[in-house]
Amino acid sequence: MTAVTHLHPSKTTLGAAIKAFFADRDLAPATRRAYRATYDPLLETFGADIPITALTGTELQRWITRRWGQAAPATWNARLTATQVLFGYCQRQGWIEGDPTASLERRRIPRDETRVIPYEELDALWCRLDVALREKLLWRMLYATAARASEILALDVEDLDLGRKRAAIIGKGGHREVVVWDAATARLLPRYLAGRQQGPVFVTEGLPNVVPAEADRSPDGRGRLSYQRAWSVFREASGGQWTLHQLRHSALTHLGEDDVSAPLLMAKSRHRDLRTLSRYVRPGPEAVARLTAEHDRARRGNRPRR
C-alpha cells in the first residue's frame, strides 16, 4: 500500500499527508485511534488544505504546548511522538526538507513506585473487544510466565510444548530455560497459531516491506513481531500508562502478595539472587491493608499491647 508517493512536495497539504500516512502504514485499530487523537486536533487547528511545507517548528511547538502543555508527561510524550512520526514520514517522502518537530523535547516521566498493574485492570484490558488476538495472547503469556518480553518475542513455534503449557527459551546470559503459562494462555495459542508448525510465534500483521532473515520469517512470509512494535501497541492500548516490563513486574508482585515463597518466586522469575528479585516484588497498598487488618488486635477483640 505505497501508491502515495506521487504527491508533489509543493502541493502536498496536511490533509493529504495524513491520509497518505494512514494508507501507507499497516496499523492496528488501537494504533490508528492513538494517532487520530493527535492528527484530528492538528487538522482542526491548521486546516486540511494548508501546505505541509508551511508548518514551521515554531508553530508546531506553540500548538502542541497550547494543546497538551498541562497534560501528564506520558500524554505529552505520546502526542509529541505521534507528531514526530507524521513529519518524519513526510520527510522520507520528500515532501519537506527538514523535520519541523526536531526542536520539540520529550518530558521526563517521574519514577513511579506504585507501578504494579492491578489484576482487575489487566483482566479488563485483555478482555476488550478492540484488542487483537495477537496482543491478548502476548500480554497474557508475558503475565503468566513472568518472562521478559524479549524472551517471549524470540520464541519459535518449535519451542512450544502445548500439551504441558511450557516452552524452552534462551534467557538472560544465554542460558536455556523453561517458562510455564496458564490455561487462559493455552486456550489462545492454538487459535492464534492457526495450524502454523514453524517460524516465529508472534508475527507482523502483514508482509513486511523488507524481507526478514530466515530465522525471523514465518512460512507465509510475515516477519517476527519486533519489541518496539509490541511495546508501542501495549502503551497505546493502556493509554500511555504501562510498559511491557510491568507485566513481569506485576505478575511477580501479585504472586508475592499471595504468599508464594521466595524460592518459588526465584524459580518462576529465574533470578539467581534474592536481592535482585526484591526489586520486583514489592507488596502494594492492598496487600499492606490486608496484612494490617489480619493483625489488627482490636478488630479481633483483643486490646493491643502497649
Please name each of the domains of the chain with its CATH number: 9-93 (1.10.150), 119-277 (1.10.443.10)
In the predicted model, what is the mean pLDDT of residues 270-282?
72
Mean pLDDT taken over the chain: 84
Nearest to 7 by CA among 99, 97, 94, 98: 94
Please report the pLDDT score of residue 110 as a whole number: 64
* Cα 201–chain centre separation: 17
Measure the CA angle with vertex 269, ends 264 and 270; round to 5°: 90
CA dist 79 → 137, 251, 256, 292 (Å)? 27, 29, 36, 42
- Give me 31's grid cell: 494504533
Task: Please report which confidence band the pLDDT of residue 298 belongs to, taking 50, 70 and 90 as the band edges.
Answer: confident
Task: Please report which confidence band the pLDDT of residue 303 belongs to, taking 50, 70 and 90 as the band edges.
Answer: low
| Higher per-residue pLDDT: 262 or 109 | 262
Please report the pLDDT score of residue 113 as a whole number: 44
| Higher per-residue pLDDT: 46 or 127 | 46
Assess whether pLDDT exceeds 80 at residue 305. Answer: no
Instruction: Return the number of other C-beta atoms located less than 10 Å from residue 4's C-beta.
Output: 16
pLDDT in tens, 17-65: 999 999 887 776 767 888 898 999 999 999 999 999 999 889 998 999 9
Please report the pLDDT score of residue 278 as a whole number: 73
Q: Cα Rg for the chain, rounded, in angstroms? A: 23
* Cα 196–chain centre separation: 25
Please report the pLDDT score of residue 172 as a whole number: 79
Q: Which of 123-137, 250-264, 274-288 has the lowest mean pLDDT?
A: 274-288
CA dist 185 → 15, 18, 58, 139, 217 (Å)? 42, 37, 49, 9, 23
Nearest to 119 by CA among 251, 26, 252, 229: 251
Please report the pLDDT score of residue 2 as a whole number: 42
CA dist 117 → 9, 71, 133, 288 (Å)? 46, 21, 21, 16
Phi, psi torsion values for 62, nearest 5 degrees? -65, -40
For the chain, give the percent of residues with pLDDT over 90: 35
Task: Please report which confidence band the pLDDT of residue 279 belongs to, taking 50, 70 and 90 as the band edges.
Answer: low
pLDDT in tens, 63-97: 999 999 888 887 888 888 889 889 988 988 889 88
pLDDT in tens, 169-205: 988 778 889 999 999 999 999 999 999 999 999 999 8
Cβ-count burial 267-276 (b if 16+ within 10 Å, e if not): ebbbbeeeee
Nearest to 192 by CA among 218, 214, 168, 228: 218
Q: State the number of CA atoms in the 13 A half-sphere of 19 facing the CB.
A: 10
